[in-house]
């Protein structure tokens, strides 16, 4: 070995050693940072509740963020504000209702404050449930305040329940009425040479219209106009009653808004005040100072004395005394939200296997009664029937089953509901839509346009009939149409047997027609009007249980999902929502979501026979 070679080898080893040392130090540093992050998050998650106390005389602060839901979506990755995909934060309605009801009886809680600026989405029935809890709180002679920079229509519905409504002088109350608008894709599909094959029963079954028309059909327009006006009547009647306004005050405010604004020189806030929609115009700082005088000063000296509703609920769960008797009757509660699909599905969808397993689990727990909360516009006919069969098996085990309809329980959602002993709906629930359709696209013309062809042989005309790259044979079309008609007849028979009617009578209110909960009760489609708590009390009555406990039966989260949810529950949700709302990409994607919704719906089309019981605009305002 020459001297030069030896020197070269030494230099390589020397710098290689430095590189290895740097790599080792980098790994150690990275691991230490990750460990510190885990320790910080662990302290945040597991130490927060232990330190939490309820201040004497504090207000319960109800500040929902994102959309109000019956069932939280599963955490699927990092939150949007730390690098994950953008998406709205969610607040579970039952959590807010339980917190408000608990605070109403708690002598430490002096009042309730509604801060609604970060609530971005809510159906009327969910607002009504929270509003009813606020009314129960007010019945204990504790005051309720609402503070807002601006009020959307949904936010204002809750704010109207307050004794005093504060509005920022630069803010507004934006009331517009309810609407139902969708994008239609027929011309786009024609240009793409996509053939969309549709088979349906029911003049009003309009779920498939965005793919077959460029506008709303007259039957769909008539149907949707009816229930929208009924829901708007529910909204205006409650708001005007709570604010002691004339019955037509809200409609007149909207109709005459340009003139009313002109009378106040374009000042939205003053227009709201002069029309008695709000009580005081005050900046957030001034409103907080007034609340500090009424309630007390918070520990940070910057806000009023309060405890967040969800933090209060966690505190109550940690400190509550266990039920004195293990033998106390148990009312099982299962939430089912989203499109109905065959097989397994995460939260946010209703999988026939997933929900069926939860219902079977309720039987194993030997609950005395079961309440199934449905919030769904339908989906697979096969999956809906599989779930209904599980409910019937529960009843056969001498366990009463009560259905609680959320914002919507239509089409497949109503199919499932027929499996209950009793059906409860809120006045503003959207239900019915009893009809069936089959649909799927084929792309043979699209492929031929770019030079791709399909050919082959089969033992019959139906061989390869359901391929997306081949034309649909007439025999296959006939089979599908007959399947739709048979499924519709089965749907009518199931409803008739459950509601003590006949298929002929049910058909008169079926054919895809949509009804509000109040109208559905008059038509005999539901038994009672009331919220989830009313349905639970009704289930207890069927079980002849006076002193009972409610046992929620939920899909088990994975360890990773539990970890991510714990993070989301302990970060400042208002900060997260604010950051996500102001991200340009997030805002752009949010604006596209309504337009692309019908396209996104296609991914849930996985019924084994391509038969669906689904409602188009069954998303209550």
Q: Let me know if 205 is a catalytic residue.
A: yes
Of 61, 94, 126, 205, catalytic: 205
Of 376, 411, 428, 433, catalytic: 411
Q: Position of tokens 């309810």?
A: 178
Per-residue b/e over 215-228, b at no fewer than 16 CB within 10 Å?
Answer: ebeebbeebbeebb
Q: Who's near 531: CB < 8 A, 6+ residues apart? A: 125, 128, 129, 132, 404, 424, 426
CA 425/CA 408 separation, integer angstroms: 9
SS3 350: strand
Per-residue b/e over 542-553, b at no fewer than 16 CB within 10 Å?
Answer: bbebeebebeeb
Q: Which helix (H) or strand (E) holds 126?
A: helix 124-138
Q: Do 402 and 384 meet the contact criterion of CB atoms below 8 Å apart?
A: no
Q: Let me know if 187 is a catalytic residue.
A: no
What are the tokens at 422? 């009793």
Q: Who's near 548: CB < 8 A, 6+ residues apart? A: 328, 329, 330, 331, 368, 540
Q: Position of tokens 């730390």?
A: 82
Strand order of the β-sheet with 195-201 is 195-201, 436-442, 611-614, 378-380, 339-341, 349-351
What are the tokens at 213? 């028309």
CA 356, distance to chain mean position in Å, is: 20
Q: How many helices (H) and strands (E) does the chain have?
A: 23, 23
CA 204, distance to chain mean position in Å, is: 25
As annotated, the active-site residues are: 205, 411
């Amino acid at each position: 070995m020459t001297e030069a070679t030896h020197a070269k080898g030494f230099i390589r080893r020397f710098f290689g050693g430095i590189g290895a040392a740097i790599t080792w130090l980098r790994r150690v540093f990275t691991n230490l940072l990750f460990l510190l992050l885990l320790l910080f998050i662990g302290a945040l998650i597991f130490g927060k509740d232990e330190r939490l106390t309820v201040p004497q005389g504090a207000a319960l602060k109800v500040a929902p963020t994102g959309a109000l839901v019956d069932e939280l979506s599963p955490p699927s990755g990092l939150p949007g504000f730390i690098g994950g995909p953008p998406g709205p934060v969610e607040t579970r309605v039952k959590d807010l209702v339980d917190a408000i009801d608990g605070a109403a009886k708690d002598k430490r809680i002096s009042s309730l404050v509604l801060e609604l600026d970060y609530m971005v989405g809510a159906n009327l029935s969910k607002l009504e449930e929270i509003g009813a809890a606020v009314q129960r709180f007010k019945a204990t002679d504790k005051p309720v305040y609402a503070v807002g920079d601006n009020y959307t229509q949904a936010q204002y519905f809750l704010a109207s329940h307050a004794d005093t409504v504060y509005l920022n002088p630069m803010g507004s109350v934006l009331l517009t009425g309810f609407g139902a608008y969708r994008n239609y894709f027929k011309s786009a599909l024609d240009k793409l040479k996509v053939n969309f094959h549709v088979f349906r029963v029911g003049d009003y079954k309009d779920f498939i219209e965005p793919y077959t028309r460029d506008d709303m059909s007259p039957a769909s327009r008539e149907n949707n106009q009816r229930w929208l006006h009924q829901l708007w009547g529910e909204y205006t009647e409650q708001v005007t009653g709570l604010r002691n306004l004339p019955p037509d005050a809200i409609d007149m405010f909207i109709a005459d808004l340009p003139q009313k604004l002109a009378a106040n020189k374009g000042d939205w806030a003053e227009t709201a005040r002069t029309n008695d929609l709000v009580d005081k115009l005050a900046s957030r700082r001034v409103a907080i100072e007034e609340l500090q005088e009424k309630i007390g000063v918070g520990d940070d000296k910057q806000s009023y004395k309060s405890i967040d509703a969800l933090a209060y609920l966690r505190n109550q769960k940690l400190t509550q005394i266990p039920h004195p008797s293990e033998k106390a009757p148990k009312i099982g509660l299962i939430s089912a939200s989203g499109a109905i699909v065959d097989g397994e599905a995460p939260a946010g969808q209703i999988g026939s296997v997933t929900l069926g397993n939860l219902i079977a689990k309720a039987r194993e727990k030997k609950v005395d009664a079961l309440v199934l909360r449905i919030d769904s516009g339908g989906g697979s006919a096969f999956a809906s029937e599989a779930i209904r069969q599980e409910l019937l098996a529960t009843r056969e085990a001498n366990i009463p089953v009560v259905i609680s309809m959320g914002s919507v329980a239509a089409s497949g959602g109503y199919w499932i509901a027929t499996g209950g002993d009793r059906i409860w709906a809120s006045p503003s629930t959207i239900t019915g839509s009893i009809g069936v359709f089959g649909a799927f696209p084929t792309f043979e013309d699209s492929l031929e346009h770019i030079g791709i062809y399909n050919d082959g042989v089969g033992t019959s005309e139906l061989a390869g009939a359901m391929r997306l790259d081949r034309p649909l044979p007439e025999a296959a079309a006939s089979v599908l149409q007959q399947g739709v008609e048979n499924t519709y007849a089965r749907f009518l028979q199931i409803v008739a047997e459950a509601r003590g009617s006949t298929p002929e009578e049910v058909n008169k209110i079926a054919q895809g027609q949509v009804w509000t909960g109040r109208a559905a009760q008059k038509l005999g489609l539901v038994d009672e009007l009331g919220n989830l708590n009313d349905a639970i009390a009704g289930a207890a009555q069927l079980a002849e249980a006076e002193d009972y406990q409610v046992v929620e039966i939920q899909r088990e989260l994975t360890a990773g999902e539990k970890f991510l949810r714990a993070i989301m529950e302990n970060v400042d949700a208002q900060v997260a929502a604010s950051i996500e709302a102001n991200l340009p990409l997030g805002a752009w994607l949010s604006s596209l979501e309504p337009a692309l919704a019908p396209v996104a719906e296609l991914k849930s089309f996985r019924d084994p026979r391509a038969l669906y019981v689904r409602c188009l605009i069954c998303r209550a305002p």
